[in-house]
Amino acid sequence: MRNPPVNSLSLEFLTELLISLEKLENDKTFHGIIITSDCPGIFSAGLDLTEMCGRDPEHYAEYWKAVQEMWLRFYLSNLVVIAAINGVSPAGGCLLSLTCDYRVLANNPKYAIGLNETLLGIVAPFWFKDTLVNTIGHRSAERALQLGLLFPPAEALRVGVVDQVVPEDQVQSTARLVMAQWLDIPDHARQLTKTLMRKPTADRLLTERDADIQNFVRFICKDSIQKSLHAYLEKLKQKKG
């Protein structure tokens, strides 16, 4: 991913990601992809706050549809998808990594990962929650979501948000080794098993997709939510000054 400075998942970047995924899926010489970051120290800052702040309802609806699409397409991809997480990964960045089949995280205490939405005064939608529950179990997910926990590497491994923590200079090579193991499995059996595991979760969003967009637009348009997102963005900008 190369969307400096922080790989935030803007509408444009999500569209590029989806086009890239489609191209790779349509090229039958590809069997797997490794998602990693070109932004030093940052895997992805998550959803782009500027797409959710100070825009009109039509824009929010279009943006949310693209976020849903990213989740659905990565979560259900027939390719083996591995995240080589070489930086901090809050909220939507964590969600993107949770769509992958395997997560390798660099062992750097700054590289925290988690669904921290409550800390921003927003609520992780049900399909964010379902993805986390499927990964770490109900009790750990409940605690992590309510407290908006961002896990440092050792904790992330302990709770199961990531599958492996390795020295920073070994993230890419480890992801490639893991890829080789996953690609050794007969493709059709692996793909069908992935679908079996994930389709019920994806189906829930597919059947409630429009209602989910409406919920998001209603929620994000609230004055109180706009105020807190605006204040959060300002705080990020003032950090430098």
**122 near ligand L52RLTOW, judged by CB under 6 A:** yes
- Whether 234 sits among the annotated catalytic residues: the reply is no
Question: Could you confirm whether 116 is annotated as catalytic?
Answer: yes
Catalytic residue among 87, 114, 117, 229: 117
Q: Which stretch binds ligand L52RLTOW (CB under 6 A): 23-31, 55-63, 77-85, 120-128?
A: 120-128
**Cα distance between residue 80 and residue 145, in whole Å:** 27
- Exactly one of 172, 215, 226, 228 binds ligand L52RLTOW (CB under 6 A); which one? 215
Determine, following the binding rule CB under 6 A, whether residue 111 of this chain makes contact with ligand L52RLTOW.
no
C-alpha to C-alpha distance for 77 and 216, rounded to whole angstroms: 25
Choose the catalytic residue: 9, 14, 21, 47: 47
Identify the CA nearest to 15 among candidates 51, 42, 57: 51
* Subset of residues 135 to 154 that bind ligand L52RLTOW, contact rule: CB under 6 A: none
- Burial-class residue 215 by CB neighbours within 10 Å (0-12, 13-18, 19+): middle
Q: Considering 79, 116, 145, 148, which one is annotated as catalytic?
A: 116
Residues 6+ apart with CB under 8 A from 58: none
Burial of 54 per CB tally in 10 Å (0-12, 13-18, 19+): exposed
Comparison of 84 and 88: residue with beta carbon closer to ligand L52RLTOW: 88
Contact 60, 217 (CB under 8 A): yes
- Regarding 239 and contact with ligand L52RLTOW (CB under 6 A), the answer is yes
Check binding of 210 to ligand L52RLTOW (CB under 6 A): no
**Alpha-carbon gap, residue 225 to 122, rounded angstroms:** 7
Tell which positions 3-62 bind ligand L52RLTOW, by CB under 6 A.
5-6, 8, 42, 45-50
Residue among 166, 160, 188 at smallest CA distance from 178: 166
Binding site for ligand L52RLTOW (CB under 6 A): 5-6, 8, 42, 45-50, 88, 90-92, 117, 120, 122-123, 125, 215-216, 219, 233, 236-237, 239-240
Active site residues: 47, 92, 116-117
